[in-house]
Structure 1
Amino acid sequence: MHDERDPSSRQLPARLRAVGPGWHRLLADLHEQLHAQHPGYQVDDLKEKFGALRIKVIGVPDTARPQVQALVADAEVQSAVTCEFCGAPARRRRRNDTCATAATPHGHGTRS
């Protein structure tokens, strides 16, 4: 459980367990960029959807929103070609009704 009064409890480092370890470096880099410019930023939502990251950031001034959205969008695009399990280059793979971004060793039994 995290302390809602502590802004860092709602930032990316505190939310890494929500997604695969292969994406943790992408999120650490995004955190560094966001925190340098907006130390009070908060993550409202962090999840995997259709084999890529989905990130919703709040707590930034309206004037900074386009810049923050661009940083978030870049991380989301990078996640779509980064293995969510190991961080290696990867591609989206489908299995039954699910989608994951996985490197070849993790994608056995799936089809693209």
Structure 2
Amino acid sequence: MMTEPAPTAERQIPAWASTVGPGWAALLNQLHQNLAALAPDYQIDSLSSRLGGLRIHLADRFDEEGEFDGDFADRAGALTDAAEVASEKTCEQCGQSGQPHFHGDQTRTWIVTVCETCRARSRTP
């Protein structure tokens, strides 16, 4: 019987948290706790910021017999969906209530979710 390797910390949320703004840390911490309660060996395929919100993709899980764990996929998917929706209403910089805003320069434009205080702060030279 082949055993699966131990979960690697670099494939779980805490290792990816520095790739997004500090205001989303509480959202990611709660998501990590919820996912670890479902499956301590969960793994992230990717975690990023896109269009003013978090985008989280989990790796598929399989049971001891090699069968796809659909229950985990459904339950974990609901958790990641909720975190993504919450991020679109949470300031990425400070964690207060925020909303998506266009931000940019001469060469490109992107969307960030920030509160009015952090938005004003970023405009001040």
Measured in 2, the distance between the counterparts of 1:64 and 1:13 equals 20
SS at match of 1:107: helix
Matched, 1:102 2:114: yes
- Alignment partner, residue 93 of structure 2: 85
How many residues are aligned here?
Answer: 107
Q: Which is higher, the Rg of structure 1 or of structure 2? A: 2
Is contact 1:40-1:59 (8 Å) kept?
A: no
- Long gaps (5+) in structure 2: 1-5, 62-68
- Alignment partner, residue 17 of structure 2: 16
- After TM superposition, give the deviation of residue 59 of structure 1 in Å: 4.2
One-letter identity of the residue aligned with 2:85: V
Identity %: 34
- Runs of 4+ aligned residues of structure 1 deviating over 6 Å after TM superposition are none
TM-score w.r.t. length of structure 1: 0.87
RMSD of equivalent CA atoms? 1.8
Which one of 72, 77, 86 corresponds to residue 69 of structure 1? 77
SS at match of 2:91: coil
One-letter identity of the residue aligned with 1:93: H
- Long gaps (5+) in structure 1: none
